[in-house]
Structure 1
Amino acid sequence: MDDTEVWSAVDRRRRAIVDLLTGLAPDEWDTPSLCDGWMVRDVAAHLTMPLLTMRQLALLAIRYPGRTNRLIRDGSIDLARRHDPGQLVHRLDLLVGRHRAFPGLTCRESLIDAVGHTFDMAIPLGREIAVPAGEVAEAADRLVSYRGRGNAKVFRSLPLAKFRLTATDHAWRTGDGAPVTGTMTDLFLLLTGRTVRIGQLHGAGADDLRRLAAV
């Protein structure tokens, strides 16, 4: 995908997220997400961060000093406390068509966020949201390109180096080692440190991967 196509994919994911959140009951906003320490409302608030001005970001950084992960984690919880569900949905809707990445990042990080956090909310809520495998693969390619450095540090690190991951629903593979197969969604979740669907993986290396991930 070129950048224009990536932004179009981001817009599709953002619209789907707005649709998901619009239909939630009040108590569902407090459902624990796949992100440690975050409820659904916190994930939604995190996704609105591109709307913050540089001054607002600076104030959050002062309030939550230290590593980037702390700013992201605690800053998102802070935003969730200051906006009710209706306001969060409205802010997310404002992002559709807004093609400007978070400072220092690219449209592909926006896609990783939009795809990944869709799953982080939808899976615990028991909602099925079909994300095209090609869009998930584009986000996965960006994750693989980090090679465990830089932006990869915001994710839990799983022992994937000794495995060859191959998608069953898209022409995508990465790694060199014992074969592990799964849907593009299953593999993307692994790359972002989520083990919620690790039981659905197959291949000669799947059991070893599950054992190592459980340590």
Structure 2
Amino acid sequence: MADTTEVFTADELEAARVLFAHQAEFVMGATTIPGLPPPDLPEVAFAGRSNVGKSSLINGLVGRKGLARASTEPGRTREVNFFLLDGRLRLVDLPGYGWARVSRTTAKKFQNLGRDYLRGRPNLKRVYLLIDARHGLKAPDAEALDALDTAAVSYQIVLTKADKIKPAEAAATVARTAAAIAKRPAAFPRVLATSAEKGTGLPELRAEIAAAAWA
């Protein structure tokens, strides 16, 4: 895996740890753009294919197993879900893409909701696009990258489930992914390998989020 420990100082990593140790609570799930909360706080959003581990990663970041509801059922997240951290930062769980068990009409509805959120949210600081480390970038992910570039929203690739493969394989996937996004205009160049189960990469991701939220 890529070593990101030198990117942040020990003080920055500790400050991020303290931030994410504060109270985190579910605020609401929105199914329409008018139903979103007011854009009065910085937000970072998590996107990715269905079952990539968004809920597990959010729970791992805040150290709570049941905050974001994880499921083995593809496409469970069908709203834009908002979580409030320390009363000053919103974590946003976007509907997944690449469903196999919902109709095309249903899938399009929730994907369009996510795209509308990305295009029109002025307080959105960064999107974290989650990619399964075992598989790397796939065709549906490329479509998501195109949408993010079009929306001109800063995004960063986060590899999930990195504990499921060998460290050398994870490092190779990080390198391939970084090369694949190198020329994309809205992509943040650093790729993180994480494991919600083992905690790998979560301290660095917390620091990335804190830096992006108040940049």
Q: Normalising by the residue count of structure 1, what TM-score does the alignment of the two structures yield?
A: 0.28
Q: Which has more helix, going by share of residues?
A: 1
Q: Tell me which structure has the larger Cα radius of gyration.
A: 1
Give the strand-richer structure, 1 or 2: 2
- TM-score of the aligned structures, taking structure 2 as reference length: 0.28
* Larger RCO (CA within 8 A; separation ≥ 6): 2
